[in-house]
Amino acid sequence: MTTEPDLASVKAYLLDLQDRICAGLAAEDGRAAFTTDEWTRHSPTASASPVLGGGGRTRILAEGAVFEKAGVAFSHVTGTALPPSATAHRPELAGRPWVALGVSLVIHPRNPRVPTSHANVRFFSTLPANPGPATAAQPAGIPPSDREARISGGAETPPVWWFGGGFDLTPYYGYEEDCVHWHRTARDALAPHGSALYPQFKQTCDDYFFLKHRGEPRGIGGIFFDDFSAPGFDASFALLRAVGDAFLPAYQPIVARRKNTATNDTERDWQLYRRGRYVEFNLVQDRGTLFGLQSGGRTESILMSLPPLVRWDYARTPAPGSEEHRLHTDFLRPRPWASEI
């Protein structure tokens, strides 16, 4: 059992996961296909950017029969020096070069009866410390693979690495059976890795996806974790795969069950309005979004999470007793979904 991080295996898993998720969603949509946008970057966009380079494979499905917009992005980004803000709890890592690999997705369905979902799985590692001034002048465009090969190749300073990720669900109209299915799938995926994980990851998710300025959760939660490395690389990577592999089984049955539900303009309007909360969360609070934008990441890939169409209304309040009102009272609060019904 190795405890050294195996970057190549993580990358291969993530690319395959992106393939499988896109195939599942395209099959569920039945009409539209994903387009692929491969990109590379070897220089920062902003002068103060800590990003050295990177690339990605962004896949977008737009104007589908079921999905109004679905974005599933693989990215592989490297930086020359971790900004202090990214390492507040580990100040000794500031200034170290780093690599981040991940798959991140947000699905905005057309029918308001189908919930929006978000997932990501990611791996982060520092790279061997910057060489001294004598070699620091090497071209900034150095391919990531050259440096990253040194992670497990007897580097002077051992790398510090961790996994993170999870998935959360944002309904516009609440269905208890969907919430239960979503959370039970998450719980069951985590169970082989320790029974303590699901309650802990659910709590992390509830805490994180909470709009402070609205005093309300973004949705009905799910699971989230970060900084995960304690059981060693192999077991941590296995956990990541369990989470990544659970996304489609958690989401696809809900889509299949709701996508043909009759709907109307009132419900569409409510969906567009509630999507505003998604924008507010992602642009005001989401750490990944803000770090990406501030560190010179690729704006189009980062903001692919934003809904295709959104509305804001002043002081809108659903009528008491309406289904829209019940979303707030019955669904937008932490509930022990996995053990309900």
Distance CA 181, CA 203 (A): 17
Q: Which of 118, 181, 183, 193 is catalytic?
A: 118
Does residue 139 touch a copy of itself according to CB under 8 A?
Answer: no
- Binding segment (CB under 8 A) for a copy of itself, from list 13-21, 56-64, 174-182, 325-333: 56-64
| The amino acid at 186 | A
118 catalytic, yes or no? yes
Question: Do the beta carbons of residue 332 and residue 217 sit within 8 Å?
Answer: yes
Instruction: Report DSSP letters for 126-187, one per residue.
Output: E-SPPP-HHHHTS-TT--HHHHHTTTTTT-SSPP-EEEEEEEEEE-SS--HHHHHHHHHHHH
Binder to a copy of itself among 245, 280, 323, 330 (CB under 8 A)?
Answer: 280
Q: Which positions from 310 through 329 interact with a copy of itself, judged by CB under 8 A?
A: 310-315
Angle value at C-alpha 279, between 273 and 282, nearest 5 degrees: 150
Region near a copy of itself per CB under 8 A, out of 157-165, 196-204, 283-291, 332-340: 283-291
Q: Looking at 121-129, 139-147, 178-186, 207-215, which segment touches a copy of itself (CB under 8 A)?
A: 207-215
Q: Which is nearer to a copy of itself, 148 or 286 (CB)?
A: 286
Nearer to a copy of itself, 81 or 283 (CB): 283
CA atoms within 13 A on the CB side of 301: 26
Among residues 89, 154, 213, 264, the one that binds a copy of itself under rule CB under 8 A: 213
CA–CA separation, 327 and 324 (whole Å) = 5
Q: Amino acid letter at 73?
A: A
* Active site amino acids: 118
Residues engaged in binding a copy of itself (CB under 8 A)? 37, 45-46, 58, 60, 62, 69, 71, 212-215, 272, 276, 279-280, 283-284, 290, 293-294, 299-300, 302-304, 306-315
